[in-house]
Structures are given as structure tokens and as C-alpha cells.
Amino acid sequence: DPRLAPNVVFVLGGPGAGKGTMCEVAMNQLGWRHLSAGDLLRAERKAGGADAALIEEYIEAGKIVPVTITVGLIKKAMNAIIEAGGAPNFLVDGFPRSLENWSGWREVFGAAAAVPTMLFFECPLPVLEQRILGRAKYSGRSDDNVESLRKRFVTYKEETMPIVDVFRKEGKVVDVDSSRDRQDVWALVKEALKPWST
Ligand code: UP5
Ligand code: MG
């Protein structure tokens, strides 16, 4: 049943590594569906539901939102796409960013489901900082400022790197040097997505 086993590839990497940018290219060029956990959280915050204030508090502090909220939003978005027809390939961007995120995912999608491949966007910190502060001029994101950014880096190192290591030990990580220019990074991503291309 494709509903139970959507085809998922995770995309992880530091803040500003280019995850969203490359997922959009993969959507336009190869028809992948892009689900950004951060975008889903920001949309939920904007909608002003019961979790809106909590989401804003976590995002501004660069902390990881409780996984039940995030995985619920991902699942809902995925189901809406599947119900609208077909079982497309999904790029899940910015998730799982902690061990807790990963266990929350397995609780919802089933521990027996295949472990997704993870594209890991490697990029040196100074480049990340430069990109985020460049984007800060127009992004309107409440976490695109020096203070929030420092906190996002700490969370990334302390909580996200351990889950990347777990996937690496399982042989599930494809490394992408995302410090290069957009065209080069896209060539690497396209190559990494080849197993799913028809
Ligand atoms: N750019 C992109 N590629 C480039 C290239 N090759 N060369 C030069 N410039 C390049 O890109 C960032 C900027 O760099 C852009 O200006 C772009 O044009 C340029 P982008 O594609 O936006 O990078 P991305 O990796 O998507 O950066 P983002 O800031 O979105 O990453 P984060 O991981 O920090 O943000 P996210 O939205 O995933 O999460 C935000 C917050 O939400 C988290 O801190 C957390 O509080 C919360 N969150 C959760 O709690 N749980 C989740 O599961 C997800 C998020
Ligand atoms: Mg993004």
C-alpha cells in the first residue's frame, strides 16, 4: 500500500546549507514533492492555532519543536498530496534534526518501514553564516539574525549531528558538498537522486 510506504528522502544540513533551494530545483526539474519541516511549522504558526505561540518560541530560540507537532504536520501534508493522486517521491527537508525526531517519525510511520536515505549538505560554518545573513535582508524570518543563528548552530552541532551519525552508521547518508555554487550542488543532488529517477 503506497499510502503506508511513501518514498521518502531526508535532506539535512546546517542552517543556510541550501536545503530548501535544492529541494525546489528537484521539484521543478524532477517532480519531487518538497516538504520543508520548517516551512510547515512557520505556516502553522501563521495560521495561529493552539501551537502557534509555542512554535514561535522554539524557532526564535533555535530549538527543536516537540516532534509530535512536526511529524503531525509532515504526515498531514503528505497525506493531502497522496490523496490528490499518486504516490510521489518526497524530499523531507530539515527533518529529522534530533534522535527524538527520528523516534517520533518511526512511531508515526512504523518502525518496520524502510529507513530513508539522507542527503547531508556539508558546508563550513562561515559560509552558512554569510548565506543566512544575506537572506536576512528579505526573508522576514524571525530566526535570521545573529543571536538566533548562533543558537541554531549550537542545536545543529549538539542535536542534529548525532542523528546524521546514526544514519551514516546504517550506510544511509549521501554527502553533498553544498558550499559550491548552485549549479555544482544541483549536479551532486541530481546524481544522488538518480536511483529514484525513471
Ligand atoms: N544559497 C543556497 N544555495 C546556495 C549556493 N549553492 N551558493 C550560494 N548561495 C546559496 O539557502 C540559504 C541562503 O543561501 C538563501 O539565500 C539561498 O539563496 C542561498 P536555503 O536554501 O534557504 O538554505 P536552507 O538549508 O533551507 O536554510 P534554512 O535556514 O531553511 O535552514 P534551517 O535548517 O535553519 O531552517 P528550517 O526552516 O529547516 O528550520 C527553522 C527552525 O524551525 C529550526 O531552527 C527549528 O527551530 C524549527 N524546526 C523544528 O523544530 N523541527 C523541524 O523538524 C524543522 C524545523
Ligand atoms: Mg530551508
DSSP secondary structure of 123-163: --HHHHHHHHHHHHHHH--TT-SHHHHHHHHHHIIIIIHHH
Predicted confidence band of residue 5 (pLDDT cuts 50, 70, 90) = low
Q: Which residues pair with 9 in a beta bridge?
A: 91, 117
Q: 1 C-alpha vs ligand 2 centroid, how far in Å?
A: 30
Ligand 1 atom at minimum distance from 179 CA: 6
Pocket residues: Cβ below 6 A from ligand 1? 13, 15-21, 36-38, 41, 58-59, 62-65, 70, 94-95, 97, 101, 131-132, 134-135, 143, 152, 181-182, 185
Q: Which residues pair with 89 in a beta bridge?
A: 7
CATH number of 7-196: 3.40.50.300
> Is the Cα dihedral 63, 69, 74, 77 positive or negative?
negative
So where are the chain's domains?
A: 7-196
Picking from 50, 38, 44, 10, the residue whose alpha carbon sits closest to that of residue 143 is: 38
Residue of 8, 35, 41 best suited for mutating to test ligand 1, as the one with most atoms within 8 Å of CB? 41
Q: What is the pLDDT of residues 117-159, one digit of tens each?
A: 999 999 999 999 999 999 999 999 999 999 999 999 999 999 9
SS3 state of residue 22: helix
Q: Give me the interface pTM, i.e. the ipTM.
A: 0.99
